[in-house]
């Protein structure tokens, strides 16, 4: 198996030992000693605390210490592939009916065929990225305690108040990553700011234990974060925490065996009432100026990308370039060339009524066949034109060379909250079916689709509508698992199970394996059943 290595720069030694013990896939930490500084140096200046918080947010966007390539956080894999959003997206989308990929990079096609193993390098890199993000959040929290601040002479009341909010945001970011870990890998280890700072092997934490930690953390920080829409752009507020908490509860049946839609509903209602609004143009949500074209009013939490300042071959640079190929007009995407990789399946295309205009169905069909005879041929399968590196006027993003995208990636947006409300109502968890119908029709009206009646609302419709509205935004695998249709034979799509027409797959693949190297490094951990 190819060795994956995490490289930490500018972070103290005990952070490296924590990483080694909690996330290694033969993850040997090797700091760049020429550039490394201690945590005390990093946090010596009170003005540096906000900068260090910004690094935690940047952990969802960047891949290393200097730009798109050359000094990666995680080595042993292509740096762009190790990027947080790209790795998570591949696990959430390439494994479903929404996406296939033409490339022959290592085991990448195993995602769509659902034939991955515990030695998969892509899975190992994403596990490492999650762990890297968690440990960085832990270090920030460890360095911002009252005791640490007093020892450094930080006494200004306004600065201390700001740092209190920063700490709440760091806890939210850590909870978000732990949720991604719980959702994809299930169990693992629980490492916090209170964990030992000397080398040790963390104990195994079950999915239920990690769920409990996230639940308690979000309950605590919801009161400490800024009120909805009062924080700076890209920074988390209470609505982001409510949304994440609702997501946790929506999937409680999967995570802990007991559903909690009843608990999710009031959180969703808080989100809907918190001042965010549905943007009037669906396609503009995914353009290079989605930070200022009105789309940001729908984004409850988003990861910032900038073609100059956050250059990476992951994130939305990947989501703009990789779906472009064949005869697709490159200039319309604001890039210098397509990567000829990602398309979709006929099963997803068929969720859109061919006789109805729905602007969410952004399929490129010229020269593309609807059915996929060859996964390796880009022209097999319709292309999707969702993410673009141009603004509302068609002007290219800030990187005029066309290499890197400005397009922000939405983690949570209000449209999702509308559909979550509808799902809770249909599942009998409370709320109003009439209100749910109104919310769904608001989205369908924006997309110029047909409106529905209350009798149309059922679970199958909601799952399909979530696909139509939220495709390629990193939700699909989670949704299919919650609805019991990801593995098994209840729902088949082309090339599921590595069969052209689709076939049943093993239920244990509802979870990804703990990487083999992680288990070799920490024998206290346990592999997920089936692997």
Q: Dump the DSSP string for 359-427.
A: TT--EE-TT-BSS-S-TT-TTBS-EE----SB-TTS-B-S-TTS-S----EEEEEHHHHHHHHHHHHHT
pLDDT, residue 77, reads: 86
pLDDT, residue 186, reads: 98
Match 């397509």 to its residue by tokens. 338
Residue 473 in any domain: the answer is yes
pLDDT, residue 23, reads: 38
pLDDT, residue 47, reads: 84
Domain boundary among 376, 407, 438: 407
Number of neighbouring beta carbons within 10 Å of residue 519? 18
pLDDT, residue 305, reads: 98
Give me 348's structure tokens: 């997803």
User: Do 242 and 184 have their domain in common?
Assistant: no
Judge contact between 79 and 69, C-beta under 8 A.
yes
Contacts of 157 (CB under 8 A, 6+ apart): none
Residue 506 in any domain: the answer is no
Residue 94 in any domain: the answer is yes
Give me 486's structure tokens: 């990801």
C-alpha pair distances (Å), 529 with each of 116, 510, 513, 519: 14, 11, 8, 14
| Residue 313: half-sphere exposure toward Cβ, Cα within 13 Å | 13
User: Do 340 and 191 have their domain in common?
Assistant: no
Residue 528 in any domain: the answer is no
CATH number at residue 445: 1.25.40.10
3-state helix vs strand vs coil in the chain, percent to 5 = 45, 5, 50
Q: How far apart are CA 72 and CA 69, in angstroms?
A: 7
Judge contact between 335 and 391, C-beta under 8 A.
no
What phi and psi values does residue 53 have, to the nearest 5 degrees?
-65, -40
Instruction: Give, for all 531 residues of the chain, the pLDDT tens digit.
Output: 344 554 443 333 223 323 333 333 333 333 333 455 677 778 888 889 999 999 999 999 999 888 788 888 888 888 989 999 999 999 999 999 999 999 999 999 999 999 999 999 999 999 999 999 999 999 999 999 999 999 999 999 999 999 999 999 999 999 999 999 999 999 999 999 999 988 999 999 999 999 999 999 999 999 999 999 999 999 999 999 999 999 999 999 999 999 999 999 999 999 999 999 999 999 999 999 999 999 999 999 999 999 999 999 999 999 999 999 999 999 999 999 999 999 999 999 999 998 889 999 999 999 999 999 999 999 999 999 999 999 999 999 999 999 999 999 999 999 999 999 999 999 999 999 999 999 999 999 999 999 999 999 999 999 999 999 999 999 999 999 999 999 999 999 999 999 999 999 999 999 999 999 999 999 999 999 999
Contacts of 501 (CB under 8 A, 6+ apart): 492, 494
Buried b (16+ CB within 10 A) or exposed e, 243-274: bbbbbbbbbbebbbeebbbebbbebbbbbbeb
User: Do 470 and 516 have their domain in common?
Assistant: no
Residue 121 in any domain: the answer is yes
Domain boundary among 373, 407, 441: 407
User: Do 72 and 170 have their domain in common?
Assistant: yes
Q: Are strands 299-303 and 409-413 parallel, antiparallel or unpaired?
A: antiparallel
Name the pTM for this structure.
0.94
Number of neighbouring beta carbons within 10 Å of residue 37? 12
pLDDT, residue 197, reads: 87
Q: Please say whether the dihedral angle defined by the alpha carbons of residues 56, 61, 67 and 68, taken in this order, is positive or negative.
A: positive
Q: How far apart are CA 531 and CA 513, in angstroms?
A: 6
Residue 498 in any domain: the answer is no
User: Do 107 and 169 have their domain in common?
Assistant: yes
pLDDT, residue 22, reads: 34
User: Do 219 and 129 have their domain in common?
Assistant: yes
Q: What is the DSSP letter of 84?
A: H
Judge contact between 297 and 228, C-beta under 8 A.
no
C-alpha pair distances (Å), 206 with each of 187, 190, 198, 213: 5, 9, 23, 11
pLDDT, residue 66, reads: 80
Residue 503 in any domain: the answer is no
User: Do 135 and 191 have their domain in common?
Assistant: yes
User: Do 270 and 346 have their domain in common?
Assistant: no
User: Do 380 and 419 have their domain in common?
Assistant: no
- Structural domain span for residue 38: 5-224+512-521
End-to-end CA distance of the chain: 16
What phi and psi values does residue 233 have, to the nearest 5 degrees?
-55, 135
Q: How far apart are CA 99 and CA 78, in angstroms?
A: 21
Q: How many domains does the chain have?
A: 3
User: Do 392 and 470 have their domain in common?
Assistant: no
Q: Is 263 helix (H, G, I), strand (E, B) or coil?
A: helix
Q: Please say whether the dihedral angle defined by the alpha carbons of residues 167, 169, 175 and 177, taken in this order, is positive or negative.
A: negative
User: Do 173 and 42 have their domain in common?
Assistant: yes
Question: Of 499, 467, 518, whose CA–CA distance to 97 is shortest?
Answer: 467
Residue 187 in any domain: the answer is yes
Question: Of 330, 325, 319, whose CA–CA distance to 405 is shortest?
Answer: 319
Match 């205009």 to its residue by tokens. 357
User: Do 178 and 45 have their domain in common?
Assistant: yes
CATH number at residue 127: 1.25.40.390
Judge contact between 241 and 172, C-beta under 8 A.
yes
């Amino acid at each position: 198996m190819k060795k994956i290595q995490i490289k930490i720069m500018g972070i103290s030694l005990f952070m490296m030992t924590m990483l080694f013990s909690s996330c290694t896939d033969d993850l040997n930490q090797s700091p760049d000693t020429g550039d490394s500084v201690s945590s005390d140096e990093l946090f010596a200046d009170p003005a540096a605390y906000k900068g260090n918080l910004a690094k935690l947010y940047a952990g969802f966007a960047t891949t290393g210490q200097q730009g798109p390539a050359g000094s990666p956080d995680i080595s042993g894999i292509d740096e762009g592939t190790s990027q947080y959003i790209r790795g998570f997206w591949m696990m959430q989308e390439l494994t479903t009916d929404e996406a296939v990929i033409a490339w022959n990079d290592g085991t990448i096609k195993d995602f769509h065929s659902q034939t991955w193993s515990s030695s998969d390098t892509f899975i190992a890199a994403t596990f490492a990225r999650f762990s890297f993000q968690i440990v960085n959040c832990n270090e920030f929290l460890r360095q911002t305690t009252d005791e640490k601040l007093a020892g450094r002479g930080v006494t200004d009341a306004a600065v201390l108040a700001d740092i209190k909010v920063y700490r709440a945001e760091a806890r939210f970011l850590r909870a978000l990553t732990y949720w991604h870990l719980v959702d994809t890998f299930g169990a693992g280890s629980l490492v916090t700011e209170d964990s030992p700072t000397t080398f040790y092997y963390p104990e195994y934490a079950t999915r239920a234990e990690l769920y409990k930690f996230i639940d308690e953390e979000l309950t605590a920080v919801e009161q400490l974060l800024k009120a909805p829409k009062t924080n700076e752009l890209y920074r988390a507020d209470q609505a982001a925490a409510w949304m994440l908490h609702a997501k946790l509860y929506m999937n409680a049946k999967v995570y802990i065996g007991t559903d909690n839609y009843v608990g999710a509903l009031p959180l969703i209602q808080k989100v809907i009432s918190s001042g965010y609004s549905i943007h009037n143009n669906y396609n503009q949500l995914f353009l290079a100026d989605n930070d200022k074209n009105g789309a940001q009013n729908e984004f409850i939490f988003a990861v910032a990308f900038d073609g100059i300042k956050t250059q990476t071959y992951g994130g939305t640079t990947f989501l703009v370039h990789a779906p472009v190929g064949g005869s697709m007009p490159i200039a319309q995407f604001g890039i210098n060339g397509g990567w000829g990789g990602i398309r979709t399946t006929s099963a997803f295309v068929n969720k859109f009524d061919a006789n109805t205009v729905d602007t969410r169905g952004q399929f490129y069909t010229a020269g593309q066949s609807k059915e996929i005879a060859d996964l390796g041929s880009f022209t097999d399968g319709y292309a999707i034109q969702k993410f673009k590196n141009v603004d509302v006027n068609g002007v290219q993003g800030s990187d005029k060379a066309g290499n890197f995208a400005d397009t922000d990636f939405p983690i949570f947006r209000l449209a999702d909250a509308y559909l979550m409300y509808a799902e809770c109502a249909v599942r009998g968890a409370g709320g109003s079916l009439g209100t749910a119908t109104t919310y769904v029709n608001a989205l369908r009206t924006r997309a110029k689709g047909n409106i529905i009646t209350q009798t149309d609302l059922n679970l199958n419709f909601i799952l399909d509508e979530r696909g139509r509205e939220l495709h390629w935004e990193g939700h699909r695998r989670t949704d299919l698992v919650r609805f019991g249709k990801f593995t098994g034979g209840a729902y088949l799509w082309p090339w599921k199970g590595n069969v052209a027409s689709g076939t049943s797959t093993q239920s244990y693949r509802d979870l990804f394996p703990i990487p083999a190297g992680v288990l070799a490094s920490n024998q206290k951990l346990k592999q997920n059943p089936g692997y």
